[in-house]
Chains A and B, each alone.
Chain A
Amino acid sequence: MSTVLKIEDLAVSFPSTDKRIFAVNGLSLEVERGEWLGVVGESGSGKSVSLLACLQLLTGDAHIDRGRAWFEGKDLLRVKRKAMRTILGRKIGMVFQNLANGLDPAMRIGAQVMEPMLAHALCNKPEARRRALSLLAELGLSDPERQFERYPFELSGGMRQRVMIAVALAAEPELLIADEPTTALDTTVQVQVLSVLQAACRKRQMTVIMVTHDLGVATNVCDRVVVMYGGQVMENAEIDAFIQRSVHPYTQGLKGSMIPITGSSGTLQQIQGSAAIFHQVPVGCPFAARCPHAFERCQTERPKLVRLGAEHEAACHLVDQECANVG
Chain B
Amino acid sequence: MSDRPFLQIQQISKSFALGKARIDAVRAVSMTIAEGETFGLVGESGSGKSTLGRLAIGLMKPDAGSVRASGVDLVTASPAKLREMRKSLQIVFQDAQSALNGRVSVASNIMEPLVIHNQGTPSERLRRIGGLLERVGLTAAHGPAMPDELSGGQLQRVMIARALALGPKLLVCDEILSALDLSVQAQVLSLLEDLRLTEHLAYLFISHNLSAVSYLSQVIGVMYLGELVEWAPTKSLLEKPGHPYTKALFDSILDVPESKAARKPLTILPGDIPSVIDRPKGCPFHTRCPLTMDICRTVPPQLVQVGEHHHAACHAIHAAG
| Partner-B contacts on A (CB < 8 A) | 42-43, 142, 156-159, 186-192, 194-195, 198, 213-217, 219-220, 223, 239-240, 243-244, 253-265, 267-271, 274-275
Give residues of chain B (256-272) contacting chain A, Cβ–Cβ below 8 Å: 256-260, 263-264, 266-269, 271-272
Is A259 in contact with B211, judged by CB distance below 8 angstroms? yes
**Interchain CA distance A253-B183 in the complex, whole Å:** 7
In the complex, chain B residues 272-304 whose Cβ is within 8 Å of any chain A Cβ: 272-273
- The proximity string for B residues 249-261 relative to A, scoring 1 for CB distances below 8 Å and 0 otherwise, is 1101111111110
Q: A191-B254, A220-B257, A265-B215 are in contact. Are A186 and B45 (CB under 8 A)?
A: yes
Contact of B215 among A157, A190, A260, A271 (CB under 8 A): A260
Q: A157-B45, A275-B181 are in contact. List 16 more A-B contacts (CB 8 A).
A: A187-B254, A188-B249, A195-B268, A214-B254, A215-B256, A240-B259, A240-B260, A243-B259, A259-B215, A260-B215, A262-B215, A268-B215, A269-B186, A270-B183, A271-B183, A274-B184
B184: chain A residues within 8 A (beta carbon): 274
Partner of B182, one of A156, A257, A260: A257
Least CB distance from B285 to A in Å reads 12
- Give complex CA distance A264, B218 in Å: 8
Question: Known contacts being A257-B186, A261-B250, is A192 close to B268, with CB within 8 Å?
Answer: yes
Q: Least Cβ distance of B166 to chain A in Å? A: 26
- Complex formed: what's the CA distance from A269 to B264 in Å? 25
Instruction: Judge if B44 is at the interface, Cβ distance under 8 Å.
Output: yes
Q: In the complex, how many angstroms separate the beta carbon of B217 from the nearest chain A beta carbon? A: 9
Question: Which residue in chain B gives the minimum CB-CB distance to A191?
Answer: B252
Stretch at the interface among B58-66, B83-91, B187-195: B187-195
* Residue from A188, A213, A240, A270 within 8 A of B187 (CB atoms): A270
Give 27 CB contacts A-B under 8 Å.
A42-B181, A156-B272, A156-B273, A186-B44, A187-B208, A190-B252, A191-B267, A192-B268, A194-B254, A213-B181, A214-B182, A216-B253, A216-B255, A219-B256, A219-B263, A243-B257, A244-B259, A258-B256, A259-B186, A259-B189, A261-B210, A261-B215, A261-B238, A262-B215, A265-B215, A269-B186, A271-B186
Cβ of B97 to closest chain A Cβ, rounded Å? 14
Instruction: Let me know if B186 and A270 touch, CB within 8 A.
Output: yes
Instruction: Please count the residue pairs between chain A and chain B whose beta carbons lie under 8 angstroms apart in the complex.
Output: 137
- Give the chain B neighbours of A265 by CB distance below 8 A: 193, 215-216
Decide if B126 is an interface residue (CB 8 Å cutoff): no
Residues of A close to B210: CB separation below 8 A: 187, 261
User: Cβ of B238: which chain A residues have Cβ within 8 Å of it?
Assistant: 261, 263
B151 in contact (CB, < 8 A): yes
Among B258, B269, B272: residue with most chain A CB under 10 A: B272
* Distance of A159 Cα from B190 Cα, bound (Å): 35
Q: When A213-B181, A257-B183 are in contact, do A274 and B254 touch as well, CB less than 8 Å?
A: no
The answer to whether B253 and A261 touch across the interface, beta carbons within 8 angstroms, is yes
Partner of B234, one of A192, A198, A263: A263
Report the contact-size class of chain B (Cβ under 8 Å from the partner): 35 or more
Contacts of A187 in B (CB 8 A): 208, 210, 249, 252-254
* CB atoms of B193 and A220 under 8 A apart: no
Does B48 reach chain A (CB closer than 8 Å)? no
Q: How far is the CA of A219 from the CA of B153 in the complex (A)?
A: 26
Interface string of B208-248 (1 = CB under 8 A from A): 11111011100000000000000000110111000000001
B105 at the interface (CB under 8 A from A): no
Question: Across the two chains, which residue of chain A brings its CB closest to B255?
Answer: A216
Is there contact, CB below 8 Å, between A216 and B266?
Answer: no
Do residues A261 and B255 form an inter-chain contact, with CB atoms below 8 A? yes
* Chain B contacts for A255, CB-based, 8 A: 256
Q: How far is the CA of A190 from the CA of B276 in the complex (A)?
A: 21
Tell me if A262 and B214 are in contact (CB < 8 A): yes
Among residues of A, the one whose C-beta sits closest to the C-beta of B193 is: A265
Question: Contact: B257 with A188, CB < 8 Å?
Answer: no
Cβ contact within 8 Å between A188 and B252 = yes
Q: Which of A158, A190, A240, A268 contacts B186 (CB 8 A)?
A: A268
A212-B211 Cα distance, complex, nearest whole Å: 17
Q: B15 in the interface, Cβ–Cβ < 8 Å?
A: no
Report the minimal beta-carbon distance from A213 to chain B, rounded to whole angstroms. Answer: 6
Distance in angstroms from A157 CB to nearest chain B CB is: 7
Closest 8 CB pairs of A and B: A216-B254, A259-B211, A271-B183, A195-B266, A257-B186, A42-B181, A268-B186, A186-B44
Give the distance in Å from the alpha carbon of A191 to the alpha carbon of B44 in the complex. 13
Q: A43-B181, A244-B259 are in contact. Are A261 and B214 (CB under 8 A)?
A: yes
Interface string of B297-317 (1 = CB under 8 A from A): 000000000000000000000
Contact residue among B183, B257, B268 (Cβ-Cβ distance under 8 Å from A42): B183
Question: Does B185 interact with chain A (Cβ within 8 Å)?
Answer: yes
| Residues of B with C-beta under 8 A to A270 | 183, 186-187, 190
Q: Is the CB of A243 within 8 A of B266?
A: no
